[in-house]
Amino acid sequence: EYQSARSSRPASVMKAVHQRITEGGGPALVHCMWGVHASGALSAMALVQFCDWSEDRAKAYWDEARNGAPCSGGCDAWIDSKFDQFTPDPALKISAEQQKAICPK
């Protein structure tokens, strides 16, 4: 079932993902127009928000997952600017059981 995002703002996306996790929904696909910048940044933020990963670990995971896909304009600077504006929301914590089900090792 495809549902267009109501907003691409990280706080809104994290709330939507949290709702999906806590209500027992299935997988969620996060994708942007080109699939390299925004979707990767939001996915990395989700690892910080829901899996208690450090920002550095999440960024490294995102960079590795790109499999060398080109990123014009400097991916590092772009994702850094997005993370500068992101703060995990303590109200969106998930249980250890939920983390075990969704977080990469």
Q: What is the pLDDT of residues 18-47, one digit of tens each?
A: 998 999 877 777 777 655 577 788 889 999
Give the residue from 43, 39, 20, 2 showing the smallest Cα distance to 98: 20
- What pTM does this model have? 0.83
The percent of residues in the chain predicted with pLDDT above 90, rounded, is 34
Interacting residues of 56 by C-beta distance below 8 A, sequence separation 6+? none
Is the model's pLDDT at 56 over the cut of 90? yes
What is the Cα 80 distance to its own chain's centre? 14
Element (DSSP H or E) covering residue 24 = none
